[in-house]
């Protein structure tokens, strides 16, 4: 009999608890009106950045497309007038992208970067395929000072290391020996 | 000839009114449930379609009606197509015997505010609620899916078990009202509602009716986290909508029956009769939603044990005690 009374008491407590909740303020955040501040390292839509001189950073090395676990990045490499490589076309299929950020980690020139813009919903799946013109932006992204060619020039038909336009000379690796 | 036609027209008008109101109330009961359940869980609930989400039921019905009606290739076609209708129709028909108010007179004729005052109204209600089992069992079986079949079997077992305490709990009410007619039962409560004399019957009836309507904590036939959606797993579009509708009409019928058998039906001071009935139905619906926000689902053996080992003996003892007291007093109180 006492167990029955306990059961009834427990039931009443449960009902009272839920009834109290009826008068609490809902904790729902209404999304399109209220946008929560995103964490600093949020990974979402991918961009192609430029170096501080305003030139494209991408050297079409294919590292991002080969590291991509879902193979959503594709490009073509070619040489510019000055012998440097670039990508005539660059394509990311956002319908396939899983926003893992491995492309950003693999990129030696800090060209490909993930931004925090995540509202990329589209009704037509083909509009999620972004071409180079859609990806290229006019700023340096997270790396405001980095310019690949200041640190790592390469030998081309036009000249050796450090002899190209806006390229620092090679660093003597033995300079810091004791 | 003319009075016959007039009577027929009045009947049609009453039917249209009751059906229309019942279906409208069913869709807004869904809104109420979603809203209240959300508030019990400290959420907001539907609030995008219209003010306070009030257009949500309309949006939902449009969605249901325009969705594709899929019949699985392995299903038994005819029973699969008919089963949802059985559930919805039996739930709707039960309302035919519920008195909505006292007789009114239009142009010298008295018009009873009940669709049909059957002298065996209570048996009619039981018959329909037993028939409702077929919709669940046949629908679950005809879909030819394991989850549906399990849901259907559970539904059949549960509803047959709880039919007994449901019937037994109303025997004292019939003994006190001296009638099976729902109109007479309401009239017998002119002085006091029966809940004052029959609190045990009231609890037994409420629990078994809850199990009949397959609501939490007795929603084992659906059991979405065990069986997908139980007996209506394979249904889509408006056929699923009919099951859904049946459930919410059932809540209203349950509210109306609780009101008629124990809470005095449409009787009450100050307010108009139809409002009293609506208020009592709303209270029962609110309590059921509250219960859904509070209690977990019972285990299957607990469900069966509660039905056979608690509710039926309690209802039987209650009948004997009521009979003894009525004999002592030499008639109805």
Domain boundaries, chain B: 68-329
DSSP A11-80: HHHHHHHHHHHTTSPP----TTTS-PPPPTT---SEEE-B-TTS-B-----SHHHHH-TT--EEEEEEE-
Does the distance separating the beta carbons of A27 and B294 come in below 8 Å? no
Residue B69 phi, psi dihedral angles, 5° rounding: -95, 100
Rounded to whole angstroms, how far apart are CA atoms A120 and A96? 13
Does the distance separating the beta carbons of B38 and A22 come in below 8 Å? no
A175 token code pair = 């300079």
Does the distance separating the beta carbons of B40 and A15 come in below 8 Å? no
Q: Which residue has the tokens 């009935």?
A: B277
- ipTM (interface pTM): 0.73
Does the distance separating the beta carbons of A17 and B294 come in below 8 Å? yes
pLDDT digits (tens, 9 = 90+) for A99-158: 999 999 999 889 999 998 888 888 998 899 999 998 999 988 888 888 887 776 677 777
Does the distance separating the beta carbons of B38 and A21 come in below 8 Å? no
Break chain B down into helix, strand, coil percent, rounded to 5: 70, 0, 25
CB B281 within 8 A of CB B205: no
Rounded to whole angstroms, how far apart are CA atoms A85 and A38? 36
Kindly list the strands in the beta sheet with A129-130, ordered across the sheet, starting from the edge strand earlier in the chain. Answer: A73-79, A85-93, A129-130
pLDDT digits (tens, 9 = 90+) for A24-76: 888 888 888 888 888 988 999 999 999 888 888 899 999 999 999 999 999 99
Rounded to whole angstroms, how far apart are CA atoms B267 and B187? 9
pLDDT tens for each residue of chain B, 333 residues long: 567 887 788 888 888 888 888 888 888 888 999 998 898 888 888 888 888 888 888 888 888 889 888 888 888 888 888 888 888 888 888 888 888 877 777 766 677 777 777 788 888 888 888 888 888 888 888 888 888 888 888 888 888 888 889 888 888 888 888 888 888 888 888 777 888 788 888 889 988 888 888 887 888 878 778 887 778 888 888 888 888 888 888 888 888 888 888 887 777 777 787 788 888 888 888 988 898 888 888 888 888 888 888 889 999 999 999 888 888 887 544
Residue A25 phi, psi dihedral angles, 5° rounding: -75, 130
Determine the average pLDDT of the residues in A17-30: 88
- B217 prior amide bond cis, ω within 30: yes
CA dihedral sign, ordered B67, B73, B78, B80: negative
> What Rg do the C-alpha atoms of chain A give, in angstroms?
27
Rounded to whole angstroms, how far apart are CA atoms B90 and B153? 19
Does the distance separating the beta carbons of B293 and A18 come in below 8 Å? yes
Determine the residue among A22, A30, A34 to mutate to test chain B binding: the one whose Cβ has the most chain B Cβ atoms within 10 Å: A22
Helix H or strand E segment including B24: helix B2-40
DSSP A75-97: EEEEE-TTS-EEEEEEEEETTT-
**Which chain A residues are within 8 Å of B38, Cβ to Cβ?**
26
Q: Which residue has the tokens 């407590």?
A: A13
List, in order, residues 6 or more apart from B256 with CB less than 8 Å away: B95, B98, B277, B281
B203 token code pair = 């609890």
**How far is CA B246 from each of CA A172, B118, B280, rounded to the nearest angstrom?**
83, 23, 20
Let me know how long chain B is: 333
Rounded to whole angstroms, how far apart are CA atoms B280 and B266? 9
Helix H or strand E segment including B106: strand B104-106
Rounded to whole angstroms, how far apart are CA atoms B255 and B286? 10
Rounded to whole angstroms, how far apart are CA atoms A153 and A164? 8
Q: Which of A17, A21, A26 sits opposite B44 (nearest CB)?
A: A26
Let me know how long chain A is: 178
What pLDDT does B2 receive? 61
Q: Smallest Cα–Cα separation from B6: which of B118, B108, B114, B119?
A: B108
- Predicted model pTM: 0.76
Rounded to whole angstroms, how far apart are CA atoms A97 and B151? 40
In CATH terms, the fold of domain A46-143 is Alpha-Beta Plaits (3.30.70)
Q: Smallest Cα–Cα separation from B322: which of B204, B224, B190?
A: B204
Q: Smallest Cα–Cα separation from B70: which of B291, B199, B238?
A: B238
What pLDDT does B107 receive? 67
B296 token code pair = 């977990």
Q: Which residues of A touch B (CB under 8 A)?
A: 11, 14-15, 17-19, 21-22, 24-28, 30
Helix H or strand E segment including B152: helix B146-177
- E-strand stretches of chain B: 104-106, 109-111
Residue A90 has pLDDT above 90, yes or no: yes
Q: Which of A14, A15, A26 sits opposite B43 (nearest CB)?
A: A26
What three-state secondary structure class fits A127? helix
**Which chain B residues are within 8 Å of A17, Cβ to Cβ?**
294
| Closest Cα in chain A to B42 | A26
Residue A166 has pLDDT above 80, yes or no: no
pLDDT band at A2 (very low <50, low <70, confident <90, very high): confident
Residue A84 has pLDDT above 90, yes or no: no
Residue A112 phi, psi dihedral angles, 5° rounding: -90, 125
Residue A176 has pLDDT above 90, yes or no: no
Does the distance separating the beta carbons of A26 and B42 come in below 8 Å? yes
Q: Smallest Cα–Cα separation from A43: which of A87, A90, A91, A105?
A: A105
Q: Smallest Cα–Cα separation from B258: which of B316, B294, B210, B313?
A: B210
B27 token code pair = 């869709």
């Amino acid at each position: 009999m006492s167990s029955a009374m306990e059961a009834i008491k427990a039931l009443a407590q449960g009902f009272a608890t839920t009834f109290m909740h009826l008068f609490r303020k809902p904790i729902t955040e209404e999304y399109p009106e209220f946008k929560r501040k995103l964490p600093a390292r949020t990974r979402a839509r991918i961009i192609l950045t430029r170096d501080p001189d305003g030139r494209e950073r991408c050297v079409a090395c294919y590292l991002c497309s080969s590291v991509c676990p879902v193979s959503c990045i594709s490009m073509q490499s070619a040489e510019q007038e000055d012998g440097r490589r670039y990508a005539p076309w660059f394509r990311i299929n956002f319908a396939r992208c899983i926003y893992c950020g491995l492309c950003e980690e693999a990129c030696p020139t800090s060209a490909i970067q993930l931004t925090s813009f995540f509202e990329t919903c589209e009704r037509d799946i083909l509009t999620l395929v972004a071409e180079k013109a859609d990806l290229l932006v006019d700023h340096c992204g997270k790396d405001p000072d980095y310019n690949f060619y200041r640190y790592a020039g390469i030998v081309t038909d036009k000249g050796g290391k450090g002899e190209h336009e806006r390229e620092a000379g090679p660093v003597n690796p033995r300079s810091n020996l004791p | 000839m003319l009075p016959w036609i007039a009577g027929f027209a009045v009947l049609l008008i009453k039917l249209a009114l009751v059906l229309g109101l019942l279906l409208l109330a069913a869709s807004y009961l869904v809104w109420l449930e979603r809203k209240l359940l959300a508030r019990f869980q400290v959420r907001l609930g539907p609030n995008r379609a219209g003010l306070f989400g009030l257009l949500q039921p309309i949006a939902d019905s449009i969605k249901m009606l325009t969705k594709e009606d899929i019949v699985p290739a392995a299903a038994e076609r005819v029973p699969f197509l008919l089963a949802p209708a059985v559930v919805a129709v039996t739930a709707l028909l039960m309302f035919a015997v519920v008195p909505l108010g006292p007789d009114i007179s239009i142009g010298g004729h008295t018009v009873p505010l009940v669709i049909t005052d059957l002298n065996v109204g209570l048996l009619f209600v039981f018959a329909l609620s037993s028939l409702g089992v077929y919709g669940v069992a046949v629908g679950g079986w005809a879909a030819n899916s394991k989850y549906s079949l399990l849901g259907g079997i559970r539904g059949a077992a549960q509803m047959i078990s709880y039919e007994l305490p449901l019937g037994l709990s109303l025997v004292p009410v019939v003994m006190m009202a001296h009638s099976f007619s729902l109109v007479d039962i309401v009239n017998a409560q002119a002085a006091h509602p029966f809940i004052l004399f029959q609190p045990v019957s009231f609890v037994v009836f409420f629990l078994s009716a809850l199990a009949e309507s397959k609501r939490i904590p007795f929603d084992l036939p659906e059991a979405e986290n065990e069986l997908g959606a139980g007996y209506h797993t394979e249904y889509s579009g408006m056929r699923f909508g009919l099951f859904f509708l049946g459930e919410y009409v059932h809540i209203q019928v349950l509210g109306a029956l609780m009101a008629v058998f124990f809470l005095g039906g449409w009787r009450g001071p100050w307010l108009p009769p139809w409002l009293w009935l609506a208020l009592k139905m709303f209270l029962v619906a609110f309590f059921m939603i509250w219960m859904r926000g509070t209690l977990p689902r019972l285990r299957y053996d607990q469900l069966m044990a509660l039905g056979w080992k608690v509710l039926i003996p309690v209802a039987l003892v209650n009948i004997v005690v009521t009979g003894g007291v009525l004999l002592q007093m030499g008639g109805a109180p």
